[in-house]
Structures are given as structure tokens and as C-alpha cells.
Amino acid sequence: MADAHAALTRLQFRDPERAAALVRALHRVTAEVRREPVAIMHVCGSHEQAIARFGLRAVFPRSLDVIMGPGCPVCITDLPEVDEAVALARQGIRLATYADMLKVRGSALSLADVQAEGARIDVVYSITQAVALARKTPSEPLVFFATGFETTAVATAAVILGDPPPNLSVLSAHKYIPPVMAIVSEMPDTRVEGFLAAGHAATITGWGIYEAFVARHRKPVVVAGFEPLDILAGLVRLVELVRDAAPEVANMYPRCVTKEGNLQAQQQLWRVFRPIGGRWRGIAHVPNGNLRLRDEWAGVDARRRFEIDVASLWDTAPPALVQQCICGDIMAGIASPRDCALFGRECLPDSAVGACMVSSEGTCRIWHQYGGHPDLAALPVDPYARRA
């Protein structure tokens, strides 16, 4: 017990003194780059949530631009994928999915729209809850609309490999992160000089997966966790690599991430899924960015078990405001929520126009909830800047 207590005591990730020291280091190494702005991107909504929740953006150097990329799985689920779920629900098939997916609009309608029309849609926190629902009503087909990156795709794969109930099907909209980093790097307007990679995804894939990306694109990648000290330490290391023009992979989350990752989880993931090219909402066609069920799992693949009448949605016009939404540019790091004329006006959490305002991991939703980019320089004293 004493050893366990000592171990827990050592795990201090919200130490103000260490945070202040890291902020000072971040100011120093950013200044040492000797040009501005220094633009880096994180590709995880959980990173943006932590940055906003703990007010970290307020103590970043003014010359450091930390951009949120396509790290929200709900936001980048493309219109045709939502349309498939909407069409199935309209055809009378019972659906289960995550709460954030209800308000995400497809070409014209969202699942919330068709739920209001009487469609049966259950909100679940995991695929295991969908399995439990399916077992309670064995005579009724139930489709799990599966979204998320490799972190949640692994859970879907485990259920499929574990003899799911015969009335359960999976409509996969899962995505795979590494390919989209290459797409962002190759965008003509990109300013991104390095990437902060998501620690939980790297727990599955390992940090070694980024070595090929770094070798090809000559931009550093740092894997970081989600506590304030994790993020600050990750940013310091990433800016150091930018300063030194050193295209390397650094692992700043060693308590969870190894170079090889979780080999058993990877084996299950690729036994069930195959990567294929597909569009990510507002971004581009991403080669190998979508995860679809392999042929041997056709028996649980909703796309093969049901005739999905997407064409029935084509007569429904999308709301006019959708045409003004710039979620795509925001997720690509080209624009911020404040560049959108709808942000905080017509587009609000309860009346979201774009996907970035729907999800709790969407940039617009996070900025609306936490105030975006607080400016401590407007205060009489900025202790971190003065010590830098």
C-alpha cells in the first residue's frame, strides 16, 4: 500500500511551479526560432479541450500559433456517411450511436431530424452498450453507427471478433489519423511546421508509425498526453525541434506510449478493418484514411446486409446557412472559428450549423465554451511573459 501511495504521489501533472517553468521554457525556445509566427498543429480534439479548459493558450508566446487540426472524429465524418445512417433510420432500422452524432447534418438531414420524425435511435457510450441493446431484442435488427479514430475502432474490432449477437450490424465511419497528416502537410496554404500527435492513438499504433511521415515530409512530430504538463512539455520539445530544423519523432508520453504500440490491439484492428481512401468532411480525399470491414466480416457489415436508399434524401434541400460554414478550413488549420461569420451568432451549440460546433471535441464548440484565445497581455501583469 505504501508503495502504491508513493507511486500516486509522484504522478503530479498539475504542478503550478513546473507549469510556470515549462511556460518560461516555451517562451525562450520560441524566441530562439528568431522568426514569427511559429505555426504548429495538434491533431486531437482532446488536446484542444485540455488547452482551452486549463487556459493554456493564454500563456503561450504571442509568436507561437498552436492550430487545431482534423482531430475531431465527429467533425470529419463525411456527408455520405451520415446520409447512410439517416437513410437506414428512415427505412425503419433501429440505430445506436454516440450522442454527438445526432446533430451532425448529412447532405440535408441529421439523425436528430429523423428521430423527431419517429425513427428509433439509441444513444450509447460504447459499442458494448449497443451489443447489450441487440441482445435484449434478438428479433430486431440493430445497426451500430461506428465513428471515431483507431482508438475506438479497436473496440469495434474486439466486439466483432467476440461473437456479437446475430441481429447486430456495424456501419463503419471509422477513420485512421496518420494519412491525413500527410494531406495537411501537402496543402498549398499550410503554415504547419510540426505536429503534436495524440497520445491515446499512439498508445495503439506506437510512436514509430510517425517515422515514415517525418522522413518524407521533413516535419517533426511529438507525441504528447493530455494533462497540462504533458501538453506544455510536448510543445517545448516540438518548438525545440522546429528551432533546430530537426525532423524527428519525440515521445513525450512514455508512461503510456512505446515505439511498437499495442501489438495485440493492432492485430485485432487490421484483422477486422482494411484502410481505403475516402473523403473527410471539409478537408479532402484521404488515401487510406477510412476504415471499412473486410470481406470476411460481411455478415456484420450494414452496407452489405441492407439496401441503403440514400437517393431518397436527395429531394431534401440543405439549410441555406450550411453554404456559409467554413468548418473545412478550420479543420485544415487555414482559418479559426472567429473567421466564420456564423460563429457565436447563427451557429451555436443548441443550433449548430457546422459539425465543428456540434461535437464536444470540435474547435468551434470548444472555443464557444471556453472563450477561444484569451489575451492575458491585456491584463496589467503577465507573469509568464515577464520571466521569459
- 258 against 68, higher pLDDT: 258
Question: What are the C-alpha distances in Å from 251 to residues 69, 150, 206, 222, 258?
Answer: 20, 19, 10, 6, 8
What Rg value do the Cα atoms of the chain yield, rounded? 22
Interval 183-224: pLDDT, tens: 888 888 788 999 999 999 999 999 999 999 999 999 999 999
With a cut of 60, say whether residue 313 has pLDDT above it.
yes
What percent of the chain is modeled with pLDDT above 90? 59
User: Quick one: average pLDDT of 72-97?
Assistant: 92
Interval 20-67: pLDDT, tens: 999 999 999 999 999 989 999 998 888 988 998 888 988 999 999 998
With a cut of 80, say whether residue 374 has pLDDT above it.
no
* 187, 328 contact by CB (below 8 A): no
With a cut of 80, say whether residue 137 has pLDDT above it.
yes
* 63, 238 contact by CB (below 8 A): no
CB-side exposure of 124: number of CA atoms within 13 Å? 22
- 379 against 269, higher pLDDT: 269
What percent of the chain is modeled with pLDDT above 70? 91
Q: Residue 329: exposed, middle, or buried by beta-carbon count in 10 A (0-12, 13-18, 19+)?
A: middle
With a cut of 90, say whether residue 338 has pLDDT above it.
no
Interval 253-305: pLDDT, tens: 999 999 999 999 999 999 999 999 998 887 778 999 999 999 999 999 999 99
**Which among 320, 278, 330, 258 is positioned nearest to 72, based on CA atoms?**
330
- pLDDT recorded at residue 387: 46
* 74, 362 contact by CB (below 8 A): yes
With a cut of 90, say whether residue 356 has pLDDT above it.
no
d(CA 94, CA 140): 8
User: Quick one: average pLDDT of 149-162?
Assistant: 95
- pLDDT recorded at residue 160: 97
Question: What are the C-alpha distances in Å from 266 to residues 28, 141, 307, 351?
Answer: 39, 29, 31, 38
